[in-house]
Structure 1
Amino acid sequence: MEAGDATLEESSFFALVSRMKYIERWALMRSTRPENLSEHSLEVAVIAHALATIANVRYGRSLDAGRAALMGMFHDASEIITGDMPTPVKYANGQIRDAYKDVEANAEQRLLDELPQDLAPAYRQILCPAASDAADGDEAYLRGLVKAADKLSALIKCLDETHAGNAEFRSAQATTQASVDAMAADHPEVADFVEQFLPPFGKTLDELL
């Protein structure tokens, strides 16, 4: 806007986004170290970007790795309002799953409502990709990689906990590993990440360097 234009209306969108750090994950589990939504979202963004890059470099895709990172960064933004619903509860049955999807959609819209009207469309494409774009071609594949990145981040958390001697996460690790394996069967870049980048997780800094 140019000098002399009307004063910009106050918006709470980014103040709300900053509250990701207050949303704790794994609420039903005893953790050796708590994990918040902000940490998880950054890790998902990094992994989603890596998966898209691997897909482009090794498998001839033309995916937007930057968009993958953004989608990963905001993939659980609705939890700023809803909190983290534990996976066993969220997917206990179809009725609960569908009801929670409606809750998530309403929370995403509530966040978008806090944006200025001129900025809202750009962020809708990130927060609500399923509602913004046709789910086909590269876009659908990109969404699949973000979901895989989410599962990989969860698996990394499980590995960290079991390496620390926390038996609480053994069952979650087995379930999450099975989900990642299933995704890797359809996404070679996920299989590459599991084989090449996952094994070092859990090592000490001296071992990594």
Structure 2
Amino acid sequence: MGLNDFILGLNNLETIVRAPGSFKFTPHTVAAHSYRVSSIAQVLGDIEEHHGVKINWKSLYEKALNHDYTERFIGDIKTPVKYANKELRGMLQTVEEKMTEEFISQEIPKEFQEIYRRRLFEGKDDTVEGEILSIADKVDLLYESFEEIVKNNPETVYREMFLEAIQTIQKYKHRPSVIYFFEEIFPELLDKSFYGKDDFIEQVNQYL
């Protein structure tokens, strides 16, 4: 028993495509998403620190880097399916947690098991770092879906994902990084010409 299987699992994440079942011009993998979320969390952490918030950087990086590692066990399930009802979401979470615990018990050396329980179980908690992870995860979804929107992807799911991401990020509007994001970063994202932009911006403004 060593850490070999944990490292091999990183290869699995490179083969799991996000938003399965929907046509996309630019496919994204869970591995790429984890890297982007970590980088976005770093940016948000910098903004928070600039506003006097103390950041536990080790915790933030651990949460961001590992937040979707367990998708190697169950894959990336489409958001509408995951959140179809609370019972289904609870069942999926139970399966994921059980498989994660079995993986840690069987593949991680005993001296490191508590470390990996901390890293691989739910990181989106009510700590500053947990909230930053939740925001960063949705910011990446925002950019990922917007990339398809500006390419005139006919799948309506990407507009739905974009608007849902805005709604979720807005739940953390008490965070300085969210205020900064919508004031300084978000307008630049939208500053592109694409078909149907006026109607889309009108929809977006309803969520801001």
TM surpasses 0.5 = yes
Contact 1:21–1:39 under 8 Å retained in 2: yes
Unmatched runs of 5 consecutive residues or more in structure 1: 1-7, 205-209
Aligned to 1:186: 174
Q: Indicate yes or no: 2:68 matched with 1:76.
A: yes
- Give the alignment of 1:1-40 within 5 angstroms: 11-40=4-33
Residue equivalent to 2:203: none
CA contact (8 A) 2:67 2:122 kept: no
Which whole-Å deviations, capped at 9, do the CAs of 1:55-103 have from their partners, x for residues lacking one?
Answer: 1221x21111342122111101110010011110111111011111112
Alpha-carbon distance, 1:187 to partner: 1.8
Q: Percent identity?
A: 24
Instruction: After TM superposition, give the deviation of residue 199 of structure 1 in Å.
Output: 4.1
Rounded Cα–Cα distance in structure 2 between residues aligned with 1:16 and 1:203: 38
Shift of 1:200: 4.1
* Count of aligned positions: 188
| Preserved contact between residue 41 and residue 60 of structure 2 (Cα < 8 Å) | yes
* CA–CA separation in structure 2 for the residues paired with 1:67 and 1:123: 12
Q: How far has the Cα of 1:129 moved from its partner?
A: 5.5
1:36 and 1:62 map into 2 onto residues whose CA distance is 32
Question: Distance between the aligned counterparts of 1:79 and 1:64, measured in 2?
Answer: 25
Shift of 1:203: 7.9
- Structure 1 partner of 2:86: 94
Residues 10 and 154 of structure 1: is their aligned pair in 2 closer, same or farther, counting only changes over 3 Å? closer
Q: CA deviation at 1:155?
A: 0.7
Q: TM-score scaled by structure 1?
A: 0.80
Q: 1:147 aligns with which of 134, 137, 154?
A: 134
CA contact (8 A) 2:70 2:100 kept: yes
- C-alpha contact (below 8 Å) 1:55/1:189 kept by paired residues: yes
Greater CA deviation, 169-178 or 144-153? 169-178
Could you tell me whether the CA contact under 8 Å between 1:53 and 1:65 is conserved in 2?
no
Structure 1 residue 164 and structure 2 residue 151: aligned? yes
Match of 2:164 in 1: 175
Q: How does 1:118-133 map to 2 (within 5 A)?
A: 118-128=111-121
- Give the TM-score normalised by the residue count of structure 2: 0.81
Amino acid of the residue matched to residue 80 of structure 1? Answer: R
The C-alpha deviation readout for 1:120-172, integer Å capped at 9, x for no partner, is 22222221256xxxx66xxx221111011111111111111111111422222
Q: CA contact under 8 A between 1:24 and 1:34: conserved in structure 2?
A: yes
Q: State the one-letter code of the partner of 2:153.
A: N
C-alpha contact (below 8 Å) 1:63/1:142 kept by paired residues? yes
Unaligned runs of 5+ in 2: 193-208
1:163–1:202 Cα contact (<8 Å) kept: no
Q: Distance in 1 between matches of 2:82 and 2:3?
A: 35
